Structure 1
Amino acid sequence: MKIILYSLLLLSVITTSCSSDDKNVTNSEKPIQVTVNQSNSNSQGAFANASGKLVAKNSVNVSTRMMGYITGLRAEVGQNVSAGQLLVSINSTDIQAKGGQANAQISQAQANFNSAKKDYERFSNLFKSQSASQKELDDMRSRYEMAKAGLEAAQAMKSEVNAQYKYTNITAPISGVITAKYAEQGDMASPGMPILTIESPSNLQAQVLVSEQNITLVKQGMPVKITLKSTNEEVGGTVAEISKSSANTGGQYLVKINVANSKNLLSGMFVNVQFPFKNSGKTNQDFQESVMIPKSALVEQGQLTGIYTISSSNTAILRWVKTGKTFGDQVEILSGLNADEPYIVSAQGRLYNGAKITK
């Protein structure tokens, strides 16, 4: 019995000692120095986001109006070309044959015209001296006019053949870069079938689709922010064109935006566009003011994303949030953090849920 009492007394002393030590450790823990910021929304009001891609403002498909085999194709994808540079040659045997026929018809029509003209002039003089009748003069005039019309028809046919010659040697209509090649040397070219695509990379546009709730707020000339999805690089832009119909775009409206600085950008890059809407004093139920915070403030654990906020007792509280689109080094918070609510940007130590902090 004495042994049992002694064991209980010893256990009580150890427990008390441990509790006292834990309490001293907890009380002696130094607060972690942190940098605090406040979440903010667009100071001008709300904004809407739209996704799309960059396209060349000047883009043309090179094709031909005649059918024939491609005998020469002096173009490769990525090649820089100048306006007027020869790119494609098409077999012109048929056109050459038609050209020979047109020349023969012109020679024949010219001979008929010369003969009819001389006869008409001769009978005009005879009629003046009353050596020819009015009917004979009228017949010569009709023959002369028919010969003249025949010569003009033959010359028009020759002009048509010459016009077709232009489509046997196709030149670049604009200066730019070849971005697509649809045929190879030896292929059959057909009228209207594209052979090459040339784009001018100096002028790029962002094309995005905007919902019907926000399209009425988008105005021509409106400045916007364009963020490249691949690099998070941010460039400026200006709304250039706004489609007034969504019949062919799935209920959304196509908006074209001129890119301010597209020197190092490429056609086809995917982008996010931010349209700022000034606050009119009325609550718009179609969109909300999005909260923006630095990406460096986010904490990722597995598939969850959170951010440390501050409790009333100056402790760090890990709160899970739902993120939206990224704009440069800023990320959109869709839920989990209110506007003007403080959060921890950085800390001089390892943060954890419930850690004491000091600003």
Structure 2
Amino acid sequence: MPRNKLKLITVLAGCLALVVLILYTGGFLDLGKIAPGRVEAQTTAAPQGEVVKARRVELPINYPAVGTLRPISEIKVESRVPGRILSLKAEPGQMVKQNQELVVLDSREYQAKLEQARQALIETQAAVQLARSEHQRIKRLLAGQAATQRQMEQATEALDGALARQAQAQRGVEQAKVALDYTRVTAPVPGRVLKRLAEPGDLALPGRPLLIMEAGRGLRLEALVPERLVSRVSPGQELTVELPAQDRRLVAKVEQIVPSADPATRTFVVKANLPEAPELFAGMYGRLLIPVGRRPAVLIPAAAVQMVGQLEMVTVKHDGAWQRAMITTGRRQGADVEALSGLRGGEELHIPAGGHAR
């Protein structure tokens, strides 16, 4: 009988322990646990530093329209005459001056044509001298009635023809000079070389770009905006541009909305001019942020956030005492940062003296 009683007591004790464990893990027993997101109060005295409040604000909800940075003014450098490329004197990224030599073509053929044109001019000049002498001779004979009017007309026609051929030969010389000059391809404007599309030994042809350069330093973002959102964008509007590679934001002004949608992607091209910055380059990836609504958010100074290991902590006043609280932050908003969890807004926060943004 005592053995059965002992077994019963053991079973009852085990059941009681199981019930207590279930109640504890379910949160029904308050054994001095710390509230989620907080640690126990450290002090009731005001710490040194600045006291600020978490602000509850409304932030815009943006649609990120992806795009590429391109020069505002892009120029294709081409040769005006065909020819074999001997050398290219510009590299991508190089700044060039107006009329600076960029490409040199084989000019031997054009030099030969210039010599031929000059020789033809010399021959026509000799023909003009001969025709003029004959014209003067017939004119004197006609005055002495030793030549007929018909001979005079023929001499005049011969002189006019010689003069016309001389003028044509002169134009040929000028054209040959111009063609020879075109074997030196120069920069049409001051700017920066973006791409090199040819190499020595290639055949240069009119209409085939050899280099691509930008005039000045102006860049713009050409973003693809879905047709359902294009009505929210207008020329002259200032929008934010994100550059993920540099982790920065810039304000851009919408210059143009291309009035034609891509039927494959159902998007419009929106061109937004960026402020000049030496660290921006054509071809970089960017996002044009298009406002589509607003949402509530809590903002706090970034300097109030301190990293404890991998945890983000703030010092917050709770029930008259200063204590540490764990929070989760989101995107920076200038000197502030968004608190995604751990704060509701209105709480007093402490910024340590000489505190810096995380």
The alignment's TM-score, normalised by the length of structure 2, stands at 0.69
CA distance in 2, matches of 1:12, 1:164: 105
Identify if the C-alpha distance between structure 1 residues 86 and 249 changes in structure 2 by more than 3 Å, giving closer, same or farther.
Answer: farther
Q: CA 1:138 to 1:205, structure 2 compared with 1: closer, same or farther past 3 Å? A: same
State the partner residue of 1:137. 152
Give the structure 2 partner of residue 289 of structure 1: 293
| Superposition map of 1:122-271 within 5 A | 122-124=137-139, 127=142, 132-200=147-215, 202-246=217-261, 251-271=266-286
Spell out, residue by residue over 1:100-128, the C-alpha distance to the aligned partner (whole angstroms, 9 max, x if none): 11011101111112222333344445556
Q: Where does residue 40 of structure 1 map in the other structure?
A: 58
Deviation, 1:137, is 2.5
Aligned residues: 295
Q: Cα–Cα, structure 1 residues 264 and 139, in superposed 2: closer, same or farther, change >3 Å?
A: same
Tell me, yes or no, if structure 1 residue 2 matches structure 2 residue 20: no
Correspondent of 1:29 among 14, 33, 44 = 33
From 118, 138, 152, the equivalent of 1:103 is 118
Distance 1:107 1:248, change over 3 A: farther
Structure 1 Cα separation of the partners of residues 227 and 19 of structure 2: 69
Indicate if the aligned counterparts of 2:190 and 2:216 stay in contact, CA closer than 8 A: no
Offset at residue 236 of structure 1 (A): 1.1
Q: Please, what is the CA RMSD of the aligned residues? A: 3.7
The 3 A distance-change label for structure 1 pair 47 and 125 is farther
Identity %: 24
Measured against aligned partners, the alpha-carbon deviations of 1:175-214 in whole angstroms (never above 9, x if no partner) come to 2332222333333333333222223461111112223333
Deviations 1:86-111 (A, max 9, x none): 22211111111111110111011111
Q: Deviations over 1:236-277 (max 9, x none)?
A: 11112222223688543222211123332111111111245x
2:89 to 43, 63, 74: 74
Of the candidates 91, 100, 108, which is equivalent to residue 106 of structure 2?
91
In structure 2, distance between residues paired with 1:254 and 1:9: 76
Q: Structure 1's 39 and 164: CA in aligned 2 closer, same or farther, altered over 3 A?
A: same
Instruction: Return the offset for 1:157.
Output: 1.1
Gaps of 5+ in 1: 277-287, 297-325, 331-342, 349-357
Q: Would the alpha carbon gap of residues 220 and 131 (structure 1) be closer, same or farther in structure 2, given more than 3 Å must change?
A: farther
**Aligned partner letter, 2:160:** E
Is the Cα–Cα contact under 8 Å of residues 227 and 271 in structure 1 kept in the other structure?
A: yes
- AA aligned to 2:175 is E
| Conservation of the 8 A alpha-carbon contact between 2:78 and 2:210 | yes
- Within 5 Å, give how 1:266-345 maps onto structure 2: 266-276=281-291, 288-289=292-293, 291=295, 329=332, 345=340
